[in-house]
Amino acid sequence: MDKILIKSATLAFPGHEKNGQTLDVLINRGIVEAIENKNIINDEDATVIDANGQYLAPGFFDLNVNLGEPGLETKETIESGCAAAAAGGFTGLAMQPNTEPALHSKGEISMVVNLARNQLVSLYPIGAISKGRTGNDLAELYDMKLAGAVAFSNGNKSIQQAELMSRALLYCKGFGALIMSFAEDASIANHSKMNEGVMSTYLGMKGNPGLAEELMISRDLSLANYHNTVIHFSTISTKGSVSLIREAKQKGIQVTCDVAAHHLVLTDDRVAGFDSNYKVSPPLRTAEDIQALKEGLLDGTIDAIVSQHTPHEVEYKRVEFEIAKNGIIGLQTTLPLLLEAQLSIDLIIEKISIRPREILSLPTPSLTVGAAANLVLFNPKENWTFDINTNYSKSINSPFYGATLMGKVNLVVNNNKVYSTLN
């Protein structure tokens, strides 16, 4: 489709002079050619899309995505991950270093950058803080930055040594890089399988208390404050974590954070059936935690929402809950979950389109004549079934697989490429 005419879409571009209005938008070879009030633009050569009742927004951006490649391509390749992302409305992904080998040197970063060329979805690798993500020695951070790393994280392995995290924060401060912390004190979590609370006691499973997350957040906030540097916390999940970060922001500490979409909807009660698709890290928490997370989104304490897309082969999930791997796929279910959580459209766009890019100092897509089109068109009231016919991931580890969901992405445009369900 060289030309696309989107008719009667409700604009959801925060800050745009026509935000909230119903408009027609003409896109020609990936460039916005015209923006007018509805029923003004006519072009016989264009593919016309009736967008009545749908929202046109900046393409979503995910700060926390796990893809298998390199080394774990049976879980997810860059190509399949980008396809799932496009189907979920994402035009940008920050890829975690949880690969084999880890993304811990300029070689791996350069490879990912090259493999992701010519995709509809723009892929931004996150380099590992430590070599091999072992948490022992600092990786080649500056070299990875030059090769294209947009931030540094140890992925799903929290840095246990305070001295190493301190050095990483101080070193990154020197060249303006961002450290992303997954907060979990391993000595407190101690290989537990679910949230510590009433349900873990009922099921007789060792619980992971919110304290494990909150202790590490307290430590890293202290380090960031000491060095006067920036820090980002990935996938916070507890009421206590929200309070700690809210207080830190009020004190002027340079901190941002995100929450996974499933932590806004699912509670630890879901584990009662021992379905390993509900086994995630951090674990599903309580209704009280969910309420605090939503309040944190509303008051700006929580800056962004992520999918925490974590694909696994069936042999790692269709096993006993105790030995199953953590994680679910989430790129295509993020929007439906946020609608189920009853977040407003404006808040959703702020948290999955605008703020994630701001955190990484990336440009926010604009809808202006002459600009490259980077947008998503979605219908918040349209139902669809997440199954073998609609799943673009190589994996199926999702508690929503086979379910009918509300909130459908119908068009994505980026990098002069198009994903569409409407033709």
- DSSP for residue 74: T
DSSP string computed for 333-351: THHHHHHHTT--HHHHHII
pLDDT digits (tens, 9 = 90+) for 17-28: 999 999 999 999
Q: What pLDDT does 423 receive?
A: 58
Q: What pLDDT does 248 receive?
A: 98
Q: What is the distance between the alpha carbons of residues 319 and 325, in angstroms, rounded to a whole number?
A: 9
Alpha-carbon distances of 390 from 218, 258, 386, 393, 421, rounded to whole Å = 42, 27, 6, 9, 10
CB atoms < 10 A from the CB of 71, how many? 12
In this structure, are residues 50 and 23 in contact, taking their beta carbons and an 8 Å threshold? Answer: no
Q: Cis bond leading into 101, ω under 30°?
A: yes
In this structure, are residues 374 and 413 in contact, taking their beta carbons and an 8 Å threshold? Answer: yes
pLDDT digits (tens, 9 = 90+) for 160-195: 999 999 999 999 999 999 999 999 999 999 989 999
Provide the mean pLDDT of the chain. Answer: 97
Q: Which of 421, 403, 423, 401 is nearest to 412 (CA)?
A: 421
Q: What pLDDT does 44 receive?
A: 85
> Any idea which residue has 């994402």 for tokens?
90
In this structure, are residues 295 and 346 in contact, taking their beta carbons and an 8 Å threshold? Answer: no
> Any idea which residue has 């009736």 for tokens?
50
Q: Which domains does the chain have, with CATH numbers?
A: 3-56+368-420 (2.30.40.10), 59-359 (3.20.20.140)
Q: Is the pTM of this model over 0.95?
A: yes
In this structure, are residues 205 and 263 in contact, taking their beta carbons and an 8 Å threshold? Answer: no
Q: Which of 94, 102, 112, 109 is nearest to 136 (CA)?
A: 102
- DSSP for residue 321: G
Average pLDDT along the chain, 423 residues, taken 10 residues at a time: 92 94 96 92 90 97 97 98 98 98 97 96 98 97 98 97 98 97 96 95 96 98 98 98 98 98 98 97 98 98 98 96 97 98 98 98 96 98 98 98 98 97 77
In this structure, are residues 311 and 68 in contact, taking their beta carbons and an 8 Å threshold? Answer: yes
Q: What pLDDT does 192 receive?
A: 93
